A and B are shown apart, each in its own frame.
Chain A
Amino acid sequence: MRRLLDAERSDTQISFRERLRAIGNLLDARGFHAMVIAEVEGGMLVRASRKGSRHPEIIEFVDGDPLPDETPDPRVEVRRRLFPGGYAPFLEALGARLDRRRAIAITIVEGTDFVTVGGFAPLPVADGSQIYETLDLLLLPEDIRELVERGVASELPAAAGPAVVERAPTGAPEPAVPDQNSLGAALASFTRRLGLVRPQASRLRG
């Protein structure tokens, strides 16, 4: 914990797609469940429990460290109701979607029958000021299945994106262009379904 809490944010990051896929592979390989992923300045904090245990472990992924390279053993079957194909395909597809939105400061929390995704994503503004939309995504089992089935390809822009993404420097953002496949659009669908309130865009750093 100490390493991550002392780490500083780096403006050039490996894409969410790459990082989340590596985290998913590690969780799958070690048979973890009850996943929580929280991005903080300096890296990613992951909490998960091993099979048969209710006592969670904390795993730190500090920016700049090599990504873990663990491959799940296909002979070992880990049953997860929400992720029958494992964490890695879901997290990779979600990561690609978060990259597309240029999201920052994400959280991913697994519940028994849902996954929440939080964080911030820049919104296009005419005057060049920095406005972030707060992500407010509640993924239900059918949404998770759809995301995995559509896979990473559907989340990539027409010209394949690089594995390394440059974070927009604070104060001089490149506007994000919302589209029908964005988290915001998906969110509207989920919030309508649940009768929840549509999130407000947060104005941050004028």
Chain B
Amino acid sequence: MAVDHAVLSDLAAAELPIDLLELSYQNRLRVIGRFIDESELHSITLIEVAQGFVLRASRAVEPWPIAIELGDRKISELMRRSIGARGEGEIERESRELLPTGYEDMLRALGHELDQRIAESVVITELPSLFAVTGFEPFVAAGVGETSYRPFAEVFGPDETRILLHKALGRRGSYQPIQRYIPPNFRG
């Protein structure tokens, strides 16, 4: 998993665990979620593109969405800001049934699930009653033995998001390194 060396010294100074450096979905989506919370955006669609994401979201009282490029450099900057803001207290977040604790927690939890799937090229779109998550995941075709990729899609309504957030809360403070995917044809 790639790390951003630009924030290494910040982490060392703050005596924070090195896993915060990983450019995992969990870490990237968490800081994007924080950015959304801070910017008071809603109705998001987050589209992964080469070297980053495009965030399309609406502002508080304006339906027309804005599109923001969140390239890897911008995400690293958000990670650095997030690390710097630790201990400064919680930011105000709007609470809704689908997002009881805001976007940061929700996207962090979704990011963990995506890391577990070794997902790629994901899209997260929010509707009033659900989050839909699509992307590609590796699989081994039966009888072929070679790793290939297939599209996947999940829908998270209020019940599923509650479960997701509950699981994420249970993981807090217990670092579990992301299991790296080793295609079967690379196993010794």
Asked if B88 lies at the interface with its beta carbon under 8 angstroms from chain A, I say: no
Asked if A156 lies at the interface with its beta carbon under 8 angstroms from chain B, I say: no
Residue contact B129 to A116, C-beta cutoff 8 Å:
no
Contact with A along B3-21 (1 / 0, CB 8 A): 0000000000000000000
Residue contact B153 to A111, C-beta cutoff 8 Å:
yes
Residue contact A39 to B132, C-beta cutoff 8 Å:
no
Q: Which residues of A contact B54 (CB under 8 A)?
A: 1, 45, 58
Residue contact A4 to B67, C-beta cutoff 8 Å:
yes
Q: Which of A1, A33, A38, A200 contacts B128 (CB 8 A)?
A: A200
CA of A64 to CA of B60, assembled, Å: 28
A198 and B129 in contact, given A45-B47, A105-B63 (Cβ under 8 angstroms): yes
Contact with B along A2-45 (1 / 0, CB 8 A): 00110001000000000000000000000001101011110001
Contact with B along A87-111 (1 / 0, CB 8 A): 0000000000000000011010111
Q: Which residues of A contact B50 (CB under 8 A)?
A: 55
Residue contact A104 to B64, C-beta cutoff 8 Å:
yes
Nearest CB on B from A46, distance (A): 10
| Count, chain B residues at interface, CB 8 A | 37
A41 and B65 in contact, given A36-B123, A136-B127, A191-B129 (Cβ under 8 angstroms): yes
Describe A's contact surface by its main secondary structure.
strand
Q: How many A-B residue pairs have CB under 8 A?
A: 129
CA of A4 to CA of B66, assembled, Å: 11
CA of A132 to CA of B176, assembled, Å: 43
Q: Which residues of B contact A197 (CB under 8 A)?
A: 97, 128-129, 157-158
Residue contact B153 to A113, C-beta cutoff 8 Å:
yes
Residue contact A136 to B129, C-beta cutoff 8 Å:
yes
Nearest CB on A from B129, distance (A): 4
Residue contact A49 to B134, C-beta cutoff 8 Å:
no
Contact with B along A166-206 (1 / 0, CB 8 A): 00000000000000000000000001001111111010110
Nearest CB on A from B113, distance (A): 15
Residue contact B157 to A116, C-beta cutoff 8 Å:
no
Q: Which residues of B contact A194 (CB under 8 A)?
A: 155, 157
Tell me the residues in window 101-130 of chain A with beta carbons closer than 8 Å to chain B beta carbons: 104-105, 107, 109-114, 116, 118, 120
Residue contact A40 to B65, C-beta cutoff 8 Å:
yes
Between B54, B127, B132, B134, the greatest number of chain A beta carbons within 10 A of the residue's beta carbon is seen for B127
Residue contact A114 to B127, C-beta cutoff 8 Å:
no
Residue contact B64 to A41, C-beta cutoff 8 Å:
yes
Residue contact A47 to B67, C-beta cutoff 8 Å:
no
Q: Which residues of A contact B136 (CB under 8 A)?
A: 34, 54
Q: Which residues of B contact A54 (CB under 8 A)?
A: 120-121, 136, 149, 151
Residue contact A58 to B64, C-beta cutoff 8 Å:
no
Contact with A along B37-74 (1 / 0, CB 8 A): 00000010101111000101010011111110100000
Beyond A45-B47, A118-B127: 11 further Cβ-contacts under 8 Å? A34-B136, A36-B45, A38-B67, A55-B121, A109-B45, A109-B134, A136-B130, A196-B130, A196-B158, A197-B129, A204-B61
Could you jot down 16 A-B contacts, CB within 8 Å?
Answer: A34-B136, A36-B125, A41-B66, A45-B54, A45-B56, A55-B50, A112-B153, A134-B127, A138-B127, A194-B157, A196-B130, A197-B97, A197-B129, A204-B61, A204-B63, A205-B62
